[in-house]
Amino acid sequence: MEKWIKRLNLVSVPLQMLAVCLGYFIIEAISRHSVAEAYTFMTERPLVFLYNAFLIFTTTLIVYLVRRRVFLRTLLAIFWMGLGIINGVLLSNRVTPFTGPDLHLITDAFNIMNKYLSPGLMVIALMGILLALGGLVLLFFKGPRYQGTLKYKWNIPLVLAGILAFAGTTKLALEKRVLSNYFGNIAFAYEDYGYPYCLATTLFNTGISCPREYSEETIAEIEESESKLPETTENRPNILFLQLESFFDPTLVNYLQFSEDPIPNFRRLMSEYSSGYYRVPSVGAGTANTEFESITGMNLRYFGPGEYPYKSILKEKTCESAPYILKELGYTTHAIHNNEANFYGRRSVFANLGFDTFTSEEYMDEQDEVNPNDWMKDKVLTRHILDCLNSTEGPDYVYTISVQGHGDYPEEPMIDNPEITVTGGESEAVNNKWEYYANQIHEMDEFVQELIDALSQLDEDVVLVMYGDHLPTMGLTVKDVKNRYLFQTEYVMWDNMGLKKKDENLSAYQMAAEVMNRVGIHEGNIFRYHQARRKTKNYQVDLEMIQYDILYGKQYVYDGQSPFERTKIHLGIHDATISSIEPVSANSYYVTGTNFTQSAFVEINGELVETTFIDPRTLLLKDVELKDGDEVDVAIRSNSPTKKVLTRTDPIIYRIPVADVTQDEPQNLVPPAE
């Protein structure tokens, strides 16, 4: 045995490369959900296959610097195989593969994990992780060690040579176009260039690279090209954006048949008002990126592959946006989302986009209005949109993000007596998924009509743009849809101002500029640029230039310093308040006030206590004894697993009522001393 080990050690480098090739093949098979497709990839693109294997092999060269080689090889194998499994699982639930920016979304993934994995699968996954960790600990202390002499004078140059060879191979592969560092479609890029390379590219290639011709003179020339735009008019209509989760016309799917039209109201509105296809930057996921383009007017094509600006640049700096520009014209700016406030980091990011208020689900008292997948129904949004419009005297910009159409779409029937039935799928499970989806967007379509009816009653000018953020996660291909394109939903621009119907296809980053143009607003560097330069020569080249200048360059458009300051965003439109605390029985109390929600919890002397929501004016405390002088407030707590407090009411000091105070007299509630 010792002789064989010595002989194998002499050829361990080529054997390690062979093992890596086998392991990488398994990773691609998991990612592609097919051994046959992995084999096709290996045989049709052998250079790409070998490059990715070389990438993994380079990371394994560090084993030659330690004695615990078996342990380190096992650890690296688990690491790479784990990445392959993660990608395979994600691709079974969405179209977008696992990317570097997904690492920034890890907390968001935990927030919605229960929507995709059953409790049983979550337990199995946790047990597998614990067993793997236990096995690694045992292998570290009890596993075999390399018994030969560690020849660092040979091994260190070997590792360095491997790294240099890999760097040179990468440069050559890019020059010879075996690889590409631009991904027009990230899902297709993973199929063409392999999982390890694409993952590494999305991890390290972020932001916007400095354009070759970038200079103050070039930016001045771009600004000069916008000089023919007319002056901004005095017209100030309310501008509303409604981003509908996973909403599109499912009758565009070639193989499906529906018992009735799932979206009759949206279809009728498209025939009566300006409408068309809406080009979005993602498929099956990436709501925040469609949101980013629609709010800022920036094209995500110039950022890193798969990047989420919400999780990168917008965490640290402000960005020119529709809210900032419209605020300068007297608008109040609002964001609404019937999901938790911290998802995609919105609570923090919206302050860097210029929003004055943000109403998340924690500030909605309809949290029990959920669909079978426990996503809040979109019909609750009408009241909150109207609240925003009625909260100010002047014009409002309201950006609303819905959630009801969110996946995962169940393979088993979850709706009793569905209004819409679906046939034509390749299996009963596929039909069930589409049937669930069709009934969800049918309810969303009814909400759209309810919102239109409510807005029609307002004595104010309103423009409302509605569109889907991306296609649902249904494994669709370009051959499956009539429009032959997956990065498209549809939009309609409703108004009560008599705007002329104008049908055209638009990208998400062009819509805000188009709306402003239609109502006579010509402000903001990005929006003026779209209005003046769309469909002109070098449109995309100069757009990249101005985006770089604003976010990463020297900000020549602002004379060197951005004028936009982070807003002090107000969570919710209406503040919660406490008006009284009334004993119900021994150690039980009613806390009354205003604007309570299911996320409201009473704090006593700074500690949260278990609280029962009764209605927006009443909370119930049980098994609590309040003492004279206790400081009491109501906290609105995040619905994310962190359960952090988002806002609090002003505190009050509780006083035990004296015996001769009648029930009709108010409690002796006083604010705490300064």
CATH number at residue 383: 3.40.720.10
pLDDT for position 233: 93
Q: 364 phi and psi, to 5 degrees?
A: -115, 130
The percentage of the chain sitting over the pLDDT mark of 90, rounded to a whole number, equals: 72
32: domain range? Answer: 2-204
pLDDT for position 272: 97
Q: Which of 314, 412, 393 is nearest to 355 (CA)?
A: 314
Lowest mean pLDDT among 53-62, 113-122, 180-189: 113-122
**Which pairing describes strands 577-585 and 396-401: parallel, antiparallel, or unpaired?**
unpaired
Final residue in a domain of this structure, among 204, 227, 258: 204
Residue 674 domain-assigned (yes or no): no
Q: What is the CATH number of the domain that holds 604?
A: 2.60.40.10
> CA-CA distance, 87 to 81, in Å (whole number)?
10
pLDDT for position 662: 46
Is residue 274 located within the same domain as residue 199? no
pLDDT for position 3: 66
Q: How confident is the model over 574-585, as a mean pLDDT?
A: 93
Residue 468 domain-assigned (yes or no): yes
pLDDT value at 358 more than 50: yes
pLDDT for position 100: 78
> CA-CA distance, 589 to 522, in Å (whole number)?
56
Is residue 589 located within the same domain as residue 504? no
> CA-CA distance, 349 to 135, in Å (whole number)?
41
Is residue 379 located within the same domain as residue 453? yes
Residue type, 382: T
Is residue 120 located within the same domain as residue 263? no
> Do you know the residue count of the chain?
674
pLDDT digits (tens, 9 = 90+) for 4-22: 666 666 677 889 999 999 9
Q: 397 and 332 in contact (C-beta within 8 Å)?
A: yes
Final residue in a domain of this structure, among 508, 532, 550: 508
Q: Which tokens hold the place of 545?
A: 């230039």
Residue 647 binned pLDDT confidence (cut-offs 50, 70, 90): very high
Residue 32 domain-assigned (yes or no): yes
Residue 532 domain-assigned (yes or no): no
Lowest mean pLDDT among 109-118, 321-330, 440-449, 521-530: 109-118
Q: How confident is the model over 213-221, as a mean pLDDT?
A: 95
Is residue 250 located within the same domain as residue 374? yes
Residue 545 domain-assigned (yes or no): no
pLDDT for position 206: 87
Lowest mean pLDDT among 26-30, 142-146, 175-179, 331-335: 142-146
pLDDT for position 473: 86
Q: How confident is the model over 554-569, as a mean pLDDT?
A: 96
The DSSP element (H or E) to which 466 belongs, if any, is strand 462-468
pLDDT digits (tens, 9 = 90+) for 593-624: 999 999 999 999 999 999 999 999 999 999 99
pLDDT for position 9: 65
Average pLDDT, the chain: 90
**Which pairing describes strands 607-608 and 600-604: parallel, antiparallel, or unpaired?**
antiparallel
The total domain count for the chain is 3
pLDDT for position 110: 56
pLDDT digits (tens, 9 = 90+) for 437-496: 999 999 999 999 999 999 999 999 999 999 999 999 898 889 999 999 999 999 999 999
Sign of CA dihedral 249, 251, 256, 257: positive
pLDDT for position 663: 47
Is residue 122 located within the same domain as residue 17? yes
pLDDT for position 148: 66
- 462 or 673, higher pLDDT: 462
Lowest mean pLDDT among 112-121, 409-418, 658-667: 658-667
Is residue 480 located within the same domain as residue 627? no
pLDDT for position 98: 85
Residue 427 domain-assigned (yes or no): yes
pLDDT for position 217: 96
Residue 144 binned pLDDT confidence (cut-offs 50, 70, 90): confident
Residue 68 binned pLDDT confidence (cut-offs 50, 70, 90): confident
Is residue 384 located within the same domain as residue 436? yes
Is residue 389 located within the same domain as residue 460? yes
pLDDT for position 665: 45
The percentage of the chain sitting over the pLDDT mark of 70, rounded to a whole number, equals: 92
Final residue in a domain of this structure, among 488, 508, 528: 508
Question: Hey, which residues does 493 pair with through a beta bridge?
Answer: 274, 465
pLDDT for position 674: 44
Residue 134 binned pLDDT confidence (cut-offs 50, 70, 90): confident
- 184 or 283, higher pLDDT: 283
- Residue 408: asked if its preceding bond is cis (omega within 30°), the reply is yes
Place of tokens 């205003």: 594
pLDDT for position 325: 98
Is residue 192 located within the same domain as residue 290? no
pLDDT value at 326 more than 80: yes
Q: Which of 360, 409, 241 is nearest to 640 (CA)?
A: 360
Is residue 25 located within the same domain as residue 152? yes
> CA-CA distance, 505 to 488, in Å (whole number)?
9
Residue 52 domain-assigned (yes or no): yes
Contacts 24+ apart (CB under 8 A), 139-142: 139/70, 139/71, 139/74, 140/68, 140/71
User: In what side-by-side order are the strands of the sheet with 618-621?
Assistant: 577-585, 588-594, 618-621, 611-615
Give the count of beta carbons closer than 10 Å to the beta carbon of residue 202: 24
Residue 228 domain-assigned (yes or no): no
pLDDT value at 668 more than 70: no
3-state helix, strand, coil in the chain (%, to 5): 45, 15, 40
Give the count of beta carbons closer than 10 Å to the beta carbon of residue 346: 23
Is residue 246 located within the same domain as residue 139? no
